[in-house]
Amino acid sequence: MELKEIVLKENELEIKPDWGKIFKRKAPLFLEIGIGNGEFIVWIAKKNPESNFIGVEVSKKYLRKAVNRVVNEGLKNVRLMYIEGSKFISKFLERETLSGIYINFPDPWLKKKHKKRRLISQPFIWLVADRLTLEGFFLMVTDCEDYAKEVAELFSECPAFLPLWDSPVKINLIDYYLTKYARKWLSQGLPLFYIGFKKHKRVEIPEWVYKFYPLAKFSEEETLPENILEVNEKVDFFELAKKLPRGIVWKREEEVIKILDIYYKEDGILIDTLVVKGFLKQRFFITIKLYQGKKIIIAIHDSDKPDITEEVHKAIIIVTLEIQKVFKNSRLVKSTCKRKFFEPLQSELLHKLKIEDKISKLEKF
């Protein structure tokens, strides 16, 4: 197989694709999250040639090692991708797509303040429940007993799942492949903990889960948001950049929009922007430049390709409204942003402006 067939690229893959077309056959689909050097996915794929396997990894170093293993084995039933696991499930899998999920030694984030970074959480389990087929399974191995118990408890709370075995946690699982890390751990006389659950009934994914995984709702590519303002006066980008806000410009529940930095030249402005929705963090540049004479266009930089969530729309709108505060007679002549966000954001910024004005008057007094 050619390398380009094995390695899938996020920005080249359509949302919720037909996996039968990608693998050139219809077959049960399995996912390994965190493939490391690829030894497990190669083993499981060779053992089950009638099934298709996807492996995802966030380390480019390990992904390269895994790719080499797959190429050397000549496997046609494996595809690999550089992407975080929950993002892959949210963005690229339809409901009841997966027959099984494997996770070998996920980071347990042992410090108390870091536990919220753990992959397995209540919203993640509901997402998995939605993407697994009926009788599909989740199987995880860890060396951290505390993490194993927590994961088992979280799965037990979701009505979609039942334990794979008499006990949801086992210390030994016969015929399960021992990775290099597992072999090293066992050689020290230390135990491993296996957690297994199967989906025994269908459930509706609760609406609150989408606050953590906004991409789970995506079904097709969204239109890129951009705004065009008619200003009818000379634009000094140096002066405009000084007046634009920095820091957090929007915060609501699981949403954060933050302007990290602003860069400017004579012909335009670049805004380094961070948007967060639940577990999804995206960083990209917003450009402000002249357009058709006395107009300004506010858009995502051509080199960036964020997933077009509601927060990306809001970031473009907020920057637009901030520009309109500077050019008070400016007029919005074109927009591909979601209109429903304009009014609440405008009201919020107006309220903030009034508070800042009161503080300024008190300081002068």
Residue 44 tokens read as 């499981």
SS3 state of residue 294: coil
CA dihedral of residues 143, 145, 150, 151 (deg, nearest 10): 40
> Catalytic site residue 107?
yes
d(CA 64, CA 31): 18
CA contacts within 13 A on the Cβ side of 85: 25
What are the φ/ψ torsions at residue 363 (nearest 5 degrees)? -65, -40
Residue 139 tokens read as 């199987």
Q: Report the phi/psi class of residue 76: left, alpha or beta, with left for phi > 0 and alpha for psi in -120 to 50.
A: alpha
Q: Decide if 237 contacts 269 (C-beta within 8 A).
A: yes
Strand ranges (E), 3-91: 7-8, 29-33, 52-57, 78-82
d(CA 316, CA 286): 7
Q: Of 107, 146, 304, 357, which residue is the catalytic one?
A: 107
Q: Using N-to-C axis directions, what is the helix angle for 60-73 and 39-47, rounded to 10°?
A: 30
Longest dimension (CA), the chain: 78
Between the CA of residue 11 and those of 15, 25, 305, what are the distances in Å?
Answer: 10, 23, 7
Q: Active-site residue numbers?
A: 107
